[in-house]
Structure 1
Amino acid sequence: MAIAPDKAIAETLPTPAKHQEFDWQNCWYPIAFTQDLPQDLPYRFSLYNEPLVLFRNQEGKLGCLTDRCSHRAARLSDGQIIDGRIECLYHGWQFGIDGQCLHIPQLPQDAKMPANACVKSLPVVERQGIIWMWAGQEQPIEELIPTIPELDKPGVFCTDYIRDLPYDQTYFIENVIDPAHVYISHDGVVGKRENAQPLDLEVLDSSLSGIRGRWRSTRQPHQPWSLLNFIAPNLVLYQSDNSNTGKFGGVVLYSLPLSKDRCRVFVRNYGNFFPWQMKLMPRWFDHIMIRNIILEGDLQIVVEQKRQIERLGKSLKEIYLPLKTSDTLVVEYRKWLDKFGQGLPFYQGYSSEKDFHSNELQENSLTLDRLSQHTQICSSCNQAYRVTNFSKQILIGLAIALAALAILTDNSWVKPVAVAGGLLAVVLAFAAQKLKTKFERAYTRH
């Protein structure tokens, strides 16, 4: 049975209300997985284009500061950590985790520290292996951190993945709140094209705090519903629970709005049913063989989608042709932005937007740059990449040395050993190069 595009979907969802704004500042934002924070280096990031820097002092306490030296506006993240202080690389001004200026080399010993030499600091805490930042002026409320209670249950295993995406947060949330695309965009990875079908999608609640929804296959109408929630401003949560077997799990998708053209995503798969092979798999191997391919399966599609929408210059309501059986939650999210997003620095709702269009269009080579978007900000992959590259160089040098030995020696048993060793080194160097490209080049279908 053919299903016609149902424009009535937009009429069944809440209409924008005036004078309701989500307070995007007085809430928590994920900055990094704890394991990905460098030990003795500044960690650079941004929130809605505001540059920020994170670091630890000698006692291991975290500090988050505006990434701008109070002296002459150089980036603090270009500096270094000395004795638990972040030092500006321009003139050596040093700041503590509270933003206080603690040392100015050019200041006379008997002179007082300038009153306005400090930089703004923001509260940060660690919860469930993630570092969180409070962006507002009000007293931070740690109970508002969107943690997942199931992660604290015994027997639960999780995998963590971080990625920078070349489009803004709203396109990421629209993408992951849409289960219908998985069968096509991720065919052969986590979905199968032949399983594409109409879905049962329901909005259970939509309010200032987010959206509660659920979905299931229409081919198996008696299967349990899967919960799919958006918790404002930065969490999409898939959850499933089989009460008959006691197995449960889910996918946690946090996001950090870096700018109009970039967001950082933190993906956590969890459950109490992971096989032992998955638990023993090195994190970097899981990333290059599974997680990167999943994220890259539709990365270029979303980039081009955003380009087309910006070129058209129309509202999404005018452009989209939604189906109830695939797009209900997508339209609901965009309408949530219509209703509550006016206070955001920028946004694109279903029928409204605010300062949304970007000033640049990235080339395809930049949108699929796995090295900078993932490897360099993931501690596990970065270390594995360095080891692989170093091993390759050593093997190449060894192959050259053994080849020279084979040429120069007259010893009847040394020559064949040198030749065999040289060939083995070449093969291993080639394998190291192939592995190295896994950390650099993105997956593409064509």
Structure 2
Amino acid sequence: MYINFWYPIARSSDVTAEKPLKVTLLTLPFVAYRDAAGKAHVLADTCVHRGGSLSGGRIKDDCVVCPYHGWEFAGDGKCAHIPSLGKDGKPPARAKVDSYPVQEKYGIVFAFLGDLPEAERPPIHEIEEYGKAPWKAQLYVIDLKAYYERSMENGLDPIHNEFVHPLQGAPLLSPARQRQLLPVEDIPWGSKFYISFDDKLIRDTNLSSDTSGDRVGAAGSWHQGPNQLVTWIDITASSSFHQYLFEAPVDENNTRLFFLNMRNWLTEDKHDARIEDVTLRVVNEDITILETLNPVRTPETNTKEILLPSDHAVVRYREWLKKWDALGWRIDVKALKARQGDAALTIPCPGRRESGNWVLDAVPLLPGNPAS
């Protein structure tokens, strides 16, 4: 798991000005809420007074109020009021919690969990067709009992479709093509592939009769950063699914998937339930596999698996992870677990580059090697 990337926090509709929302991400607690103007804020969920959970409190005057002793924290993370100091009392400068940059896109509240300045931050994937005709979007939030890297790699694996996805017509590549290196190209912050299948997508399924035009039977997947996955499924020239997964690693065993499924056919409302049923059944085909993988987490070296040319996109994804390892962005989960319970830890926010004297400790990171 990494700092310095954008992570989905919650559906936009779940972040309100009525009640703080507790979110666990990267094994750590965060709180999300809106101010009176409707702006979303994401803070570390630990009061620096005596460790109260801010998400268990309330919202008052654009601040989240700790339920333990009433300390009020504004959206910038600074303590705005301490009741025991009186009406005119000024909170000490050290009374602050980490506050994270926020963006809202696609019906999702995203937070940048890291300390990079704005100009250096990796982007949230730009969905150019979002909100444009004829495309229609449906957003699902799915809890997965699996590690997010396993989920990402599943999406970058074109071979599993033949064996796992009968609802998509079990699209396949011939053994001869599987022996060839999967064509993968690098893109900013990731890599991608796009291939045609030897057998056509959604052949003999309950959606096949609703397509029109010549069959294309092609699909592509790519990742942007460690936790954003894109899959395009082109059934015909005018019938496509564009699927976007924004993955939130809850911890080393659980992931929350923010799954945006877009289509440019069967876009009338009367088809929504049918599309949702087929889509979620396909997702459950993946979940059945992912939740039983052993080991739960990706092996530390490729020597612990036998990888083939068709796994090239998976291998390239792991190579990108090594790049972010070298930058020193990977969380040292073992060290973090050893300290949890004895210390309050959080992800360092950009504000730590501008001021010191923070109460909450930053999460331990594995040493990087930028020269590599």
Normalised by the length of structure 2, the TM-score is 0.73
What do the CA deviations read for 1:237-257 (whole angstroms, capped 9, x no partner)?
112458x84454411111122
Shift of 1:303: 3.1
Name the amino acid aligned to 2:312: T
- Indicate which of 252, 256, 262 corresponds to 1:270: 262
Name the residue aligned to 1:95: 73
Shift of 1:103: 2.6
Determine if the alignment matches structure 1 residue 73 to structure 2 residue 51: yes
The 2-side partners of 1:234 and 1:74 are apart by: 30
Shift of 1:40: 1.9
Shift of 1:292: 4.7
Determine if the alignment matches structure 1 residue 106 to structure 2 residue 91: no
User: 5+ residue gaps in structure 2?
Assistant: 202-214, 338-372
Name the amino acid aligned to 1:305: L
Question: SS at 2:67's partner residue?
Answer: coil
Name the residue aligned to 1:320: 305
Matched-pair contact (CA < 8 Å) for 1:52–1:66:
yes
Q: 1:223 to 1:298 in 2, by over 3 A?
A: closer
Shift of 1:219: 3.9
Question: SS at 1:345's partner residue?
Answer: coil
Shift of 1:32: 2.2
Name the amino acid aligned to 2:228: L
User: How much identity, in percent, do the aligned residues show?
Assistant: 27
Shift of 1:168: 2.2
User: 5+ residue gaps in structure 1?
Assistant: 1-21, 347-353, 360-446
The 2-side partners of 1:36 and 1:279 are apart by: 26
What do the CA deviations read for 1:149-177 (whole angstroms, capped 9, x no partner)?
01142221011111222222211101222
Name the residue aligned to 1:260: 252
Name the residue aligned to 1:216: 196
Name the amino acid aligned to 1:330: V
Matched-pair contact (CA < 8 Å) for 1:254–1:266:
yes
Determine if the alignment matches structure 1 residue 37 to structure 2 residue 15: yes
Residues 296-375 of structure 1: matches in 2 within 5 Å?
296-307=284-295, 315-325=300-310, 327-342=311-326, 343-346=328-331
Structure richer in helix, relative to its length = 1
Name the residue aligned to 1:382: none
| Alignment size in residue pairs | 319
Name the residue aligned to 2:230: 237
Q: 1:275 to 1:332 in 2, by over 3 A?
A: same
Normalised by the length of structure 1, the TM-score is 0.62
Q: 1:106 to 1:265 in 2, by over 3 A?
A: same
Q: 1:77 to 1:240 in 2, by over 3 A?
A: same
Q: 1:39 to 1:296 in 2, by over 3 A?
A: farther
Name the residue aligned to 2:139: 160
Question: SS at 1:336's partner residue?
Answer: helix
Question: SS at 1:307's partner residue?
Answer: coil
The 1-side partners of 2:323 and 2:306 are apart by: 20
Name the residue aligned to 2:154: 175
The 1-side partners of 2:241 and 2:98 are apart by: 39
Structure richer in strand, relative to its length = 2
Kindly indicate whether structure 1 or structure 2 has the higher relative contact order, using CA contacts under 8 Å at least 6 residues apart: 2
Name the residue aligned to 1:84: 62
C-alpha RMSD of the superposition: 3.5
Shift of 1:345: 2.4
The 1-side partners of 2:7 and 2:272 are apart by: 30
The 2-side partners of 1:300 and 1:249 are apart by: 22
The 2-side partners of 1:86 and 1:337 are apart by: 36
